[in-house]
Amino acid sequence: MFEPNGKTGLDGKQASELAEVNTLYYRFVISGICLLLLFIHLGLEYHDGHLTKLDPEALAIAVVGISPWLAHVFSSAKVLGTELHFVKQEVVRNTFKIEDQQRITNQLVIYSLAELPYRILWKLGHTDHYREYRFDNLGEMPRWINLLYDNGLIQPRGQNYIVVDSLQNGIELVSLFKPTPAGEFLMTLRGEPEELRKARLRAGAIP
């Protein structure tokens, strides 16, 4: 048989294929020799039309004959186990990456709304503390109300549509708007605005 080395002029793939052919050849040679020896041994033990015994020598020959193939099976299993372990590690690493990306995405979504419109959303969702929350058309409130409205965070109470810019100054907002499910979910994730919490505590309001 040929030896796969640098002197044969074979590239890596050809050398690997030649090595596999050599290995297969030696397996067949060893198994063939052991099979022949096994037949001879059993023939010597065969008397009067039946086999008198299956002794340890016969078992040893049989084991030697199949050992080259078992070694290949164990080697393949080991390689497969290594590959599965590598795949498992990759899955774990990718899972951590996905979780990190999800946390970052959640933080971006939670804090994508500026503080001032978020305070308005919070007050509209907590009418027990802000029953007399009134509209101010002279400042930035119309802009922030429109922002919350257009982004689906608030909705009218009992009306199909409200034109924010036409609202009367001083009208109670809690009677006109309420948070949507999306707005409620955002408040659950983000919590009470810090400035409103401090003001509520200073006023002695119950949480």
Output the pLDDT for position 117: 92
> Taking a C-beta distance cutoff of 8 angstroms, is the pair 38, 66 a contact?
no
For 115, the enclosing helix (H) or strand (E) is helix 115-125
Residues 6+ apart with CB under 8 A from 46: 52
Compare 95 and 141 and report the one with higher pLDDT: 141
Q: What's this model's pTM, rounded to 2 decimal places?
A: 0.50
Instruction: Kindly state the percentage of the chain with pLDDT values over 90.
Output: 16
Would you state the CATH architecture of domain 115-202? Orthogonal Bundle (1.10)
